[in-house]
Amino acid sequence: MKHAQDELVWIDGTGAAHPLGEVATQRMRTREGAFRIMPSPRHLVFMRYVGADGRRDREDGAVVRIAGEITGPGAMADVIALLAQVGWRGELVVQDSEHSRSLFFEHGSIVGVQSDAGDELLGSIAYRFGVVHEEVLGDVLIRARKTGERFGVAAVAMGALTEEQVLSLLGRQVEEVVFSVLMADDGLYAFLDGYEDSRLPFRQVHSATSLLMHLIVRLDGIRYFRPWIPSSQYIPKKRPGALAPGNEVMPLWNAIDGTQSVEQLGRSTGLGEFQVTEMLFQLTQSQHVIILPPRLRGGAAEAVELANTALRAIHQRADMAGRGTVFRNAMAGFARGSYDDLFRGAGPFEHGGFNGQMIDRNATNICRALGGEPEVLVREMMYDYVAFALLSCGASIGKADEQALSREVEPLLAKLRPASQSGMFRLNK
pLDDT over 70 (residue 4): no
**Structural element, H or E, at residue 292:** strand 289-292
**Structural element, H or E, at residue 101:** strand 100-106
According to DSSP, the residues that pair with 69 across neighbouring strands are: 188
Lowest mean pLDDT among 42-46, 63-67, 265-269, 320-324: 320-324
Share of the chain above pLDDT 70, in %: 96
Phi-psi region of 428 (alpha: psi -120 to 50; beta: other; left: phi over 0): left
What pLDDT score was predicted for residue 2? 56
384 three-state secondary structure = helix
Euclidean distance between CA atoms 170 and 162, whole angstroms: 12
pLDDT over 60 (residue 424): no
Q: What is the mean pLDDT of the chain?
A: 90
Q: How confident is the model at residue 3 (pLDDT cuts 50, 70, 90)?
A: low
**Amino acid at position 96, single letter:** D
What pLDDT score was predicted for residue 105? 98
Average pLDDT over residues 389-396: 89
Of 297 and 92, the one with more pLDDT? 92
pLDDT over 90 (residue 338): no
Return the closest-CA partner of residue 380 out of 345, 329, 415.
Answer: 415
pLDDT over 60 (residue 428): no
| Annotated domain spans of the chain | 66-221, 235-292, 299-416
Write out pLDDT tens, residues 341-366. Answer: 999 999 898 888 899 889 999 999 99
CB under 8 Å to 99, separation ≥6 — which residues?
115, 116, 117, 180
308 three-state secondary structure = helix
What pLDDT score was predicted for residue 191? 98
pLDDT over 80 (residue 5): no
Euclidean distance between CA atoms 227 and 297, whole angstroms: 24
Handedness of CA 114, 120, 123, 126 (dihedral sign): negative
What pLDDT score was predicted for residue 300? 86
Euclidean distance between CA atoms 347 and 360, whole angstroms: 13
Question: ∠ at Cα 44 (41, 47), nearest 5°?
Answer: 105
> CA torsion angle for 196, 202, 208, 211 (degrees, to 10)?
-160
pLDDT over 70 (residue 159): yes
Of 422 and 143, the one with more pLDDT? 143
Euclidean distance between CA atoms 168 and 178, whole angstroms: 16
**Amino acid at position 143, single letter:** R
10 three-state secondary structure = strand
Specify the DSSP class assigned to residue 162: -
Length of the chain: 429
Average pLDDT over residues 186-191: 95
Write out pLDDT tens, residues 285-326. Answer: 999 999 887 877 778 888 899 999 999 999 998 998 888 899
Of 139 and 417, the one with more pLDDT? 139
Q: DSSP characters for 108-151?
A: TEEEEEEE--GGGSHHHHHHHTTSS-HHHHHHHHHHHHHH---H
pLDDT over 50 (residue 140): yes
What pLDDT score was predicted for residue 421? 40
Q: How confident is the model at residue 426 (pLDDT cuts 50, 70, 90)?
A: very low
pTM beyond 0.75 = no
According to DSSP, the residues that pair with 36 across neighbouring strands are: 48
The alpha carbon of residue 318 and the mean position of all alpha carbons in its chain are separated, in whole angstroms, by 32
For the ranges 156-165, 325-334, 411-420, the maximum mean pLDDT occurs at 156-165
Specify the DSSP class assigned to residue 244: P
